[in-house]
Amino acid sequence: MECRKHVVTLLILGLWLSLCVAIAYAEATPEGPTTLTIESTSRRTPVDAPTIPALAGNVTQLTIDGQSVTQTWQGYYGNITGTITLDDASNHTMYDWTQASPKGEIYAATSTLDWTASNVKCWDYTMSDAGQSAFVMLTEYETALGLIAADIDGVDETFKQNTAYDDFYVGAYHVNDVTCPSTQIYTQNAVKNANDYQEVLLYDNTSNVVVYTSIIEQVEPTGFNDQPWDFEMLVGENGHLGNTATTPYYFYVELS
């Protein structure tokens, strides 16, 4: 009888330990930032038109260099501070670890995302939607952004496939596949270092939305405007044909 008690006790202890181990190894998932503040927003200042003298009888050769604001992309940049925390279900903190220079990713999507469902993967925009209940093809997405195939600021012209980027995790999903479209946002008006300001396109099969993913810089490079930033990212937005309607983007952060 005493032996049976010990066996039952050991079985209960084993189950308890298994539960503890399962909880301990549960993957962290992205969540909304504690605070998100818009510090400033701006756009290109139009350049005044130059004048050229016209004289009857003359023929004049001109070389013109012009710039126009993209009607497809919104840019975000800034800094991030973060904390890895040990909380209960009511967000009471038992302990935390503040990171002056956190590493991880910032995600932006036009829908709320259920990260626990593990439906966020690389967006392979070369795939068709055949046999898939939730998938948007490149042509569909570009149409939604007001693009046509000839536009030079299109999605596949901006986010190219088969280019290298630093691998990372989205929850338990390891993003190390070059089929993820990716790009680099500029440092000092051009790409300077292959590891700076990388951005990857993911896709959520539940919400059927593209997830823009910016890899956080631990050592701040000099950004596009000669200032150091933790991240720079692009998100798609249709501004064609005079469209001034705004699109809300949901931002998530995953620190590691």
What residue segments make up the domains of the chain, in order of their start? 73-255
pLDDT, tens digit, 9 for 90 and up, residues 61-80: 999 999 899 999 999 999 99
pLDDT band at 133 (very low <50, low <70, confident <90, very high): low
Confidence of residue 12 (pLDDT cuts 50, 70, 90): very low
CA angle 193, 145, 78 (to 5 degrees): 40
Q: What is the pLDDT of residue 250?
A: 97
- Please tell me whether residue 183 adopts helix, strand or coil conformation: strand
Nearest to 240 by CA among 172, 147, 177: 147
- Say yes or no to pLDDT of 214 above 50: yes
Query: What per-residue confidence (pLDDT) applies to 16?
Result: 37
Average pLDDT over residues 75-95: 94
Contact 221, 197 (CB under 8 A): yes
Which pLDDT score is estimated for 172?
84
Average pLDDT over residues 115-126: 84
Written as six digits, the tokens of 161 are 């496939």
Structure-token match 């000092």, residue found: 188
How does the average pLDDT of the chain come out, rounded? 85
* 32 touches 7 (CB < 8 A): no
244 token code pair: 């001034």
Q: What is the pLDDT of residues 15-54, one digit of tens each?
A: 333 333 333 334 578 988 888 999 989 988 888 899 999 9
* Residue 180 CB partners (closer than 8 Å, separation 6+): 122, 123, 124, 161, 165, 200, 201, 202
C-alpha pair distances (Å), 118 with each of 6, 113, 177: 40, 10, 16
State how far the Cα of 92 lies from the Cα of 103, in Å rounded to an integer: 24
**pLDDT tens digit string along 156-204?**
999 998 888 999 999 888 998 777 999 999 999 888 888 899 999 999 9
